[in-house]
Amino acid sequence: MSGFDPIIVKFGGVEKSIPANDFFPTLSAVEEHITFDRLNEIIVAMQNKSGMRVGVICGGYFCLLRRAGFKVTEKEVLHSITSGVETSSAIESLVYLFKQLMSEEATTPQKKPIAKKARKAKS
């Protein structure tokens, strides 16, 4: 049991998921393109209408899509982001991935239940 939820990824109106036990390999692959801090910077820049780093978003989203089993090309992903069709899906998918990493449950060590000793019956 990994302690994470499956990673939900959407593209072209289709939703697929990456199994929870593939969380760290997926995170590692995505972080080759974009980190949590960089994603936050991009979101703030987009909110301030100062642009977004298309290549960085596309790289991370493309990685997620391929790991989820989508048969897409880099050109299709680039077009979907630059046309605005999949921009929110890309951001949501990336945020969902990093949000699991930062969740309290993920950052708090799991305590194992303490087994109670069996009491001896009095005779």
What average pLDDT does the segment 88-109 reach?
76
Band of the pLDDT at 121, cuts 50, 70, 90? Answer: low
Does the pLDDT value for residue 74 go beyond 90?
Answer: yes
Does the pLDDT value for residue 118 go beyond 60?
Answer: no
Alpha-helix residue ranges (DSSP H) falling in 69-119: 74-82, 87-102, 104-107
Q: What is the pLDDT of residue 4?
A: 85
Distance between CA atoms of residues 76 and 79, nearest Å: 5
Distance between CA atoms of residues 51 and 68, nearest Å: 28
How far is CA 53 from each of CA 39, 56, 62, 96, 116, rounded to the nearest angstrom? 9, 5, 14, 19, 55
Q: What is the pLDDT of residue 61?
A: 92
Alpha-helix residue ranges (DSSP H) falling in 1-123: 23-30, 36-47, 54-68, 74-82, 87-102, 104-107
pLDDT tens by residue, 18-70: 999 999 999 999 999 988 888 888 888 887 777 777 888 899 999 999 999 99
pTM over 0.85: no
